[in-house]
Amino acid sequence: MVRADVRDGARGGAGGAAGGAVLFDFDGTLFDASEAIVHAFNAALRSRGIEAWPRERVLPLIGRPLVEMFPRAAPSASSGEIKDMVRVYREVFLPVCVSLTRPLPGLVPCLRALAAEGFRLAIVTNRKEDGARRILEGFDLCDAFDTVIGIDDVARTKPDPEPVRLALARLGVAARDAVLVGDTPQDMQAAAAAGVRAIGVLTGPFPAEPLRAAGAAAVLPDLTGLPEQVRRVLGRKPCPGATSLPASSASTAGNEAASLPGFDEEEEADVMEEVDVLVIGGGTAGTVAAIQSARAGARTMVLERGPNLGGTMTTGGVAFPGLFDAWGRQIIAGIGWDLVRESVELDGGTLPDFSKVPERHWMNQVKVNPFLYALLAEEKCREAGVAIAYYEFPTRIVRHAGGWQVDCAGFGTRRRVLCRQVVDCTGGAEVVGLLNLPRLREPETQPGSLLFCLGRPCEAGRVGTIDALYVHGADSTNSRTATAANLEGRKDLLARVRASGKRLMHAQPEASFRESYRIVGETVVTVDDYTSGRVFEDAVCYAFYPVDLHTKDGVKPQPLARGTVPTVPLGALVPKGSRDILVAGRCVSSDRRANSGLRVQASCMAMGQAAGAAAALAVAANTTPLHVGLCELRAMLRQHGAIVPGAGQDTRGKS
């Protein structure tokens, strides 16, 4: 989530643009709420027995009042039925509007720069004011705007000039001193009718030409360059003392370039690599993604900042992965399952009987020796031809001909990797964040866990959950917050050892994190999708676990209804608007409650295998993963042992 004080005490600076105003449309200009809108729109249609519309049919309607949207889908509906659909829409939309909305590129730096120059800011939208304010509150941006004009404030909506004129009246600004920024011809028309100059942005459904034809004085790709364009359109000079927006804070529209402090582009790397697929993060999902990609014939490298593969299962010690089964049948298999099964067999352990439905979900979690798992994961990577780089992480990613240049750093090593596809398996979508693509996270994350044994040996592969303590506020966003979580967990563990009088027999080297950033993908899996067992058209794997949200008060799992088995679509592994990059693991595109079930290890393994296969196929076909043929992708997954929804292979029976 965006958390920013846009004003920062900069309002009305000396020499600022006194009397000037910038009016913003909302949807498609400041925020992309399309996932929430499509979700609520179709819920309203289904409430009247009308078949849901595909996303591409709903998108052109966004920006119109709801009372104009629904007659397009239900032309024979009465005014009372339309009113009922609007009511259902709002009941569904408001609870999810923040989690399924993302700020558009450059939003906060743009608002901050305009505020620093003394511009007054307003929103003029064809949605209800409370819906707009709910989203603004969710992103801590309410105070950034002097007023919000919604559909309930006026008799006539855009393209009529009434809402624009009302905003000017509330601000006390003349039309000649104002600019309206929007993404639709209706925005441009409303501005022209009110005597206000207009600037179009291409973050909505319309290309540049219709915006110019409707009166746009300028058209920009996004909000990144807006402050300068506003000054140009109004004939203003920059406010003395105001600084231009540095390139590093701007959005990287089109994923062109992004970096963190590291070695400069001009500096020579110690090691140069050229591969087809670079998997970043060698944890639960990344290990499987790398093996699958290499087995499919792609030259593959995995980059891992730790000393071994396996992530949560090995370093974190959560060596009881689940769940591979649902309702008496196996629903996740493939490379991850083969690793788990071989680890158990080599350790002389036993596997659950998946043909029996357990009383409690955790009874079918598999007990794995994490030390063996790490060794076997390396062996499988070597056999498949995966190159492994430990103790390294990416510092810079830029486009190069045919793919990506990824600069990586480790102690004593500067590595430059040229690759065609990137698979982000970092757990917190760190590469997605490095590219300034949108990510979601709540202000408060679920607690992490530090695992240990007091007074008894740790019997790896023989017990499931060992002793554990919650690490509240655990945040794996960066090295500073991860350090803080580990320090807090170890302090509490030491206090517990002293209080117990028992010997500390085992402690994991770091806390395990349940939650971090999630991507905004081409598809966002909602909790309704998850709990209803929705089979997506582009489903690539199953998932199964209760809705399992941990809080300060503990956790009360909410089991799925009998027979329900959720699926994960390919679109949830593809960052929205991106090319040549996939994600897999707990950062899958989903709302928070759906993610609490999707984040577990078996599901992450299945997602990793799907991502590895999609990346390899994209390389072979010289395309981007979203354009890979679903039939080919599912066939490859089946070939490597995976169970694919709707592909004629939905059960393995007994383990």
Question: Which residues are designated catalytic?
Answer: 25
CA quadruple 187, 188, 190, 195: dihedral positive or negative?
Answer: positive
595, two tokens: 């993610």
Q: What angle do CA 144, 148, 149 make, to 5 degrees?
A: 160
In the chain the first and final C-alpha atoms are separated, in Å, by 42
Q: In this structure, are residues 386 and 301 in contact, taking their beta carbons and an 8 Å threshold?
A: yes
Query: Other CB atoms closer than 10 Å to residue 629's CB: what's the count?
Result: 11
Please report which helix (H) or strand (E) contains residue 198, including its range: strand 197-201
Q: Which residues pair with 541 in a beta bridge?
A: 568
512, two tokens: 């395990």
List Cβ neighbours of 128 (8 Å cut-off, separation of 6 or more).
Answer: 90, 150, 151, 152
List Cβ neighbours of 524 (8 Å cut-off, separation of 6 or more).
Answer: 35, 39, 100, 572, 589, 590, 591
Please report which helix (H) or strand (E) contains residue 170, including its range: helix 162-171
d(CA 535, CA 541): 10
Phi then psi dihedrals of residue 610, to 5 deg: -65, -40
Q: In what order do the strands lie in the sheet with 413-419?
A: 257-259, 393-400, 403-410, 413-419, 271-274
- 82 sits in the region (left: phi over 0; alpha: psi -120 to 50; else beta) called alpha
DSSP 8-state class, residue 240: T
d(CA 312, CA 604): 11
Q: In this structure, are residues 6 and 143 in contact, taking their beta carbons and an 8 Å threshold?
A: yes
Rg from Cα positions in the chain: 26
d(CA 195, CA 198): 9
Cα 294 to Cα 288, 301, 302, 617, distances in angstroms: 10, 9, 10, 11
The full DSSP string for 307-360 is SSS-TTTTTS-------SEETTEE---SHHHHHHHHHHHHTT-----TTSPPSS
Q: Which residues pair with 575 in a beta bridge?
A: 521
List Cβ neighbours of 212 (8 Å cut-off, separation of 6 or more).
Answer: 200, 219
List Cβ neighbours of 83 (8 Å cut-off, separation of 6 or more).
Answer: none
Q: What does the buried/exposed string (b/e) look like for 532-548 if buried means 16 or more CB atoms within 10 Å of the residue's CB?
A: ebeebebbbbbbbbbbb
